Structure 1
Amino acid sequence: MTEHVTITPSILYFGTPVVLLSTENADGTTNLAPMSSAWALGETVVLGLGSEGHSARNLGQRPELVINLPGPRLWPQVEALAPLTGRDPVPAAKRDVFRFEPDKFGAAGLHPEPAELVRPSRVAQCPIQLEATAIQVRPAAHGSFTIIEARVLRVHCAPELVVPGTQHVDPRRWSPLIYNFRHYFGLGPELGHTFRSQTRPSAQLAQ
């Protein structure tokens, strides 16, 4: 049996998916921000954002958003967005690291495309895009983060990722970009599936 050691890591990003979050600015343009604290339960996605960030401020005033899910090949574009903020002036706590950039799409070499049910733009290069609306925006218990509960209104998916004849994303074709203790990874080979999986291989394929 392995003996564990007690540690105090500075961050707890223990392998979470990267999201490119589209929100609406006051002038109607789209702010785009990378984030890595997101999880889904049914048709609700819970997001954790820094309270000083522009995305949290936007969602507190305008609840529409798009949750864009990049694949592993987009990690350079995600990283290009990382030191940028849409907030002007830049908050004092961020000035040593971040710079104001009004055109996040252009700065990262990404392309906007119109959403169907919400005002912020989708990211064309992201294989999965979730149009949503924030139903609750509240401070976290310790105050430095904002928690958003978003209800998904529409899901867009690259056709090659959909199991033919179904509404299911093919988990053998879709690989999210994973943020693992501030390093970027894709998924490895499939190890198995839960008994509740609706995309299990057929008996013939499993043999």
Structure 2
Amino acid sequence: MPRPIAWVSTVNAKGVINLSPFSQSNILGWDPPYVMFSAFTRFDGRRKDSVANAEETGEFVFNMATYALRDAVVLTSAIEEPGIDEMAQAGLTPAPSRLVKPPRVAECPISLECKHYQTTVLPSDTAGLYNSVVMGRVVGIHIDDSIITAAGKLDMLKARPLARMGYLDYTSVTEVFELRPAGTPENSVIGMSGGRVASG
């Protein structure tokens, strides 16, 4: 099953940048928007650096992984020690965020600045290991003008988000189509499009 990839950038207490992709991720609501990513512990029982940094600093950036950046995405999936700057190692450009300390990936068409909301721990069947479901509230959004249509919508065919399918298989968006349920009230259509329905 295709799963969107959150390319999460964080910094540790010393300011070292960490960048890791997580395919167990998604959006949680939109008013306000929240996002989540899930990470299994290292096999020695330590939290992944992204989880530790997000919890300890209270901030992270949710960058969109794309087909054009697929090689860098895979490169940053390697397990490194906390002192390694994975963004630099992958040849990527750190761009300053406006409201959080972790930089966003300049090459990504969409980045969401997030404040850590909470982490839910899901137990593993293996003693000493667990899954961390990290949730964050989106406080800032960056969208590259090149993927915005004349109608003000996002052009996913230009962005080509990357998704993980399992094994070593990935996919990306190459087709987009619109479906509108018959008899759908206009207010519902506005909500589906991410707009706000006027009250009163």
Using structure 1 for the length normalisation, give the TM-score: 0.75
Q: Deviations over 1:149-206 (max 9, x none)?
A: 110011101102123363x32344332111111322211322433453539xxxxxxx
1:187 to 150, 156, 173: 173
In the alignment, the residues of structure 2 paired with residue 81 and residue 67 of structure 1 have an alpha-carbon distance, to the nearest angstrom, of: 14
In the alignment, the residues of structure 1 paired with residue 179 and residue 123 of structure 2 have an alpha-carbon distance, to the nearest angstrom, of: 35
Matched residue, 1:152? 138
Matched residue, 1:46? 36
Closer, same or farther in 2 for the Cα pair 1:73/1:171, shift >3 Å?
closer
Matched residue, 2:44? none
Q: Deviations over 1:105-154 (max 9, x none)?
A: 12111110110000001101111000011110131143511011110011
Matched residue, 1:19? 6
Closer, same or farther in 2 for the Cα pair 1:140/1:173, shift >3 Å?
same
CA RMSD of aligned residues (A): 2.0
Percent of pairs with identical residues: 25
1:33 to 15, 20, 24: 20
Larger CA deviation: 107-116 vs 139-148 = 139-148
- Secondary structure of 1:193's match? coil
Shift of 1:82: 1.6
Closer, same or farther in 2 for the Cα pair 1:128/1:177, shift >3 Å?
same
Matched residue, 2:185? none
In the alignment, the residues of structure 1 paired with residue 18 and residue 58 of structure 2 have an alpha-carbon distance, to the nearest angstrom, of: 13
Does residue 134 (structure 1) correspond to residue 116 (structure 2)? The answer is yes
Does residue 103 (structure 1) correspond to residue 98 (structure 2)? The answer is no
One-letter amino acid of the counterpart of residue 149, structure 1: M
Shift of 1:79: 1.0
In the alignment, the residues of structure 2 paired with residue 26 and residue 109 of structure 1 have an alpha-carbon distance, to the nearest angstrom, of: 23
* Contact 1:49 1:56 (8 Å CA) reproduced: yes
In the alignment, the residues of structure 1 paired with residue 177 and residue 163 of structure 2 have an alpha-carbon distance, to the nearest angstrom, of: 17
Closer, same or farther in 2 for the Cα pair 1:194/1:53, shift >3 Å?
farther
- Secondary structure of 1:84's match? coil
Shift of 1:57: 1.2
How many residues get paired? 172
**Structure 1 unaligned regions, length at least 5:** 1-13, 88-100, 200-207
* Contact 1:45 1:152 (8 Å CA) reproduced: yes
Using structure 2 for the length normalisation, give the TM-score: 0.78
Matched residue, 1:59? 54
**Structure 2 unaligned regions, length at least 5:** 42-46, 182-188, 195-200
